Structure 1
Amino acid sequence: MSFEEFTVEGYKELIRKAMRGRVFEPFGTTEEQAHVLWRHDVDMSVHRAARLAEVEAGFNVRATYFIQFTSEFYNVFENTIRQKIDEILSHGHWIGLHFDFSMVKPDDTREVVFEKMEFEKSILEKLFGTKVKCMSFHNPEMNNALSYDDDEICGMVNTYGRSIKEKYVYGSDSNGLWRHTPIGELADNTDNKYLHLLTHPVWWQEEPMAPRSKIDRSAKGRYDFAMNNYDQLLLNMGRPNIR
């Protein structure tokens, strides 16, 4: 299982392959021409997501970025994170809700689950002034999420809905390795008229790195940012910084 091709240059090559004979569309499209639904589940790094959004804009293609409220790697309410998501939107991309089903209690009814999704959807829309028209589940195989296969939930297209599963050929970069058919091979195959491709921005760095090293980089980057903010705050207020 090689990870060397998981770089920004490798990512650009995937876009080139997907573009051949296809257009990039949002979830919920009625386009009959060959197309790709390119989806980013932003589990860990909004900074890497903003970088890929910039790359995609250079190819004049658009993708959908699914934002999570329960990530341990970023807080959607932080100024810096909000600014990065605004950057993503400024390139013409779309955002969706990345719903963490592990937050659902065992005795929650479907109605309660939908209320929780609707709540998170409304916050995203208010924070970023845009309609949230689609949703994806976080780690759907680890809980009961895949039983929610309605085509639409709370007014959002469900990326795990029955119709999408039936119509589209699916590929993913889960865990920063090609565990199944690589996305490049799927895109190279012109018989795959409709593609649903999932990428996770944290895996696509400037230089080759082992998957765990990429997670380590994101975690340490968040730590350094928080500590630098603390040091700068004390400096600005003229207070001692006891170490």
Structure 2
Amino acid sequence: MSSSQTPALDGVEFTYDWYERALVWLSDHGYESSSFEGDVGDGDLLLRHDVDLSPRKALEIGRIEADLGFRSTYFFLVSNPLYNVFDAVCRAVIDEIDALGHDVGVHFSTHQHWSRRPSPEELRERVTAERSALSLAAENVCDPVSFHCPPEWVIDRTFDRLATTYEPRFFSEATYVADSGQRWRESHPFDTRLSERVQLLTHPGLWGETDLPYTERVTSSIDENVGYAERLLTDQHLREKFDPPVELPEREPAADR
């Protein structure tokens, strides 16, 4: 398949608009979205989103994809200190992502469990436990797992009775393109020739209405999540229990939403 750039994609911007144009570009070059749960064939585009920072932004991207007829998979980090998959707002986000026709899966952090390489049985047991936990917040949870900050021992490897996004058929046997650390600013994702099958990984928290550099984007997502937790806990524990209610100083809003 051709990978020659069009002028509309010259220069990567981490905006919803640029991402939408990238999807159109891929569609125009013959790619169609596919799932990690099926067979992978020529022309398949595996859209993957590791939700490290912002479920809200994941939903924004999910809406864009659905409007264009794309299906993708959103992997939620159950052990995330920034958001809670069981919170009502996050559950509503997951429900809508599912209703849009996307898949939902576990973004698994080995670093939360081991400082060593676990046995395949240990790994499978912990992943299964987190999948069961996520199933309490999501109606449908897909089998494949995505690893958070993946250690070398999960890359390009197949595990018995454990499907992952780093299996050879999704990784070394495809073109793997990831936006980690906003690396696309230095290396355009479509500069090199794409193979007949592509896995495209993005982190929704790195994107927004306007273009912001990596550090500011991460800080903005942290501020948003902390601000939400502060408002929720203040309402639950302070405002209703004191007369007059305790008022906390307003937090300075994040630079980008």
Fold match by TM threshold 0.5? yes
Name the CA distance, whole Å, in 2 between partners of 1:152 and 1:26.
20
Contact preservation (8 Å) 2:12, 2:185? no
Q: Which residue of 1 aligns with 2:164?
A: 158
Q: TM-score, normalization: structure 1? A: 0.86
Other-structure match for 1:102: 111
Residues in 2 aligned to 1:147 and 1:8: alpha-carbon distance in whole angstroms: 29
Residue equivalent to 1:210: 213
Which residue of structure 1 lines up, in the alignment, with residue 250 of structure 2? none
Any idea what SS the aligned residue of 1:197 has? strand
1:183·1:197 contact (CA, 8 Å) conserved in 2?
no
* Cα distance in structure 2, aligned partners of 1:57 and 1:6: 19
Q: Counterpart of 1:206 in 2: which secondary structure?
A: coil
Three-state SS of the structure 1 residue aligned to 2:48 is strand
The Cα RMSD (Å) is: 2.5
Take 2:144 and 2:42, find their aligned partners in 1: how far apart are those partners?
Answer: 21
| 1:6 alignment partner AA | F
Answer yes or no: is the 8 Å Cα contact 2:177–2:199 preserved in 1.
yes
**Helix, strand or coil at the partner of 1:55:** helix
Q: Where does 1:1-243 land on structure 2 (aligned, <5 Å)? A: 5-20=13-28, 21-30=30-39, 32-105=41-114, 106=116, 108-140=118-150, 143-146=151-154, 149-150=157-158, 153-154=161-162, 157-178=163-184, 181-185=187-191, 189=193, 192-233=195-236, 234-235=238-239, 239-242=243-246
Structure 2: distance between partners of 1:167 and 1:192: 9
Give structure 2 stretches of 5+ with no counterpart: 1-9, 248-257
Alignment CA distance shift 1:184-1:107 (3 Å): closer
Contact 2:37 2:142 in 1 (8 A): no
Relative to total residues, which structure has the larger helix share, 1 or 2? Answer: 1
Task: Give the AA of the match of 2:55.
Answer: V
Partner of 1:182, secondary structure, is coil
Query: How many percent of aligned residue pairs carry the same amino acid?
Result: 26
* Contact in 2 for aligned 1:42/1:65 (Cα 8 Å): yes
SS at the partner of 2:135? helix
Asked whether the 8 Å contact 1:3–1:209 carries over to 2, the reply is no
Counterparts of 1:168 and 1:151, CA distance in 2: 18
Letter paired with 1:240: P
CA distance in 2, matches of 1:85, 1:223: 20
Distance in 2 (alpha carbons) for counterparts of 1:32 and 1:107: 32
Identify which range, 35-44 or 224-233, moves more after superposition: 224-233
Q: CA deviation at 1:184?
A: 3.8
Unaligned ranges ≥5, structure 1:
none
Of stretches 73-82 and 193-202 in structure 1, the one that deviates more from structure 2 is: 73-82
**Residue correspondences, number:** 235
Q: Distance in 2 between matches of 1:151 and 1:18?
A: 31
Identify if the C-alpha distance between structure 1 residues 153 and 103 changes in structure 2 by more than 3 Å, giving closer, same or farther. farther
- Separation (CA, whole Å) in 2 of partners of 1:166 and 1:203: 25
Q: Cα distance, 1:80 vs. partner? A: 1.0
TM-score, structure 2 normalization: 0.82
Comparing 129-138 and 88-97, the one that deviates more: 129-138
- C-alpha distance in structure 1 between counterparts of 2:110 and 2:85, whole Å: 18
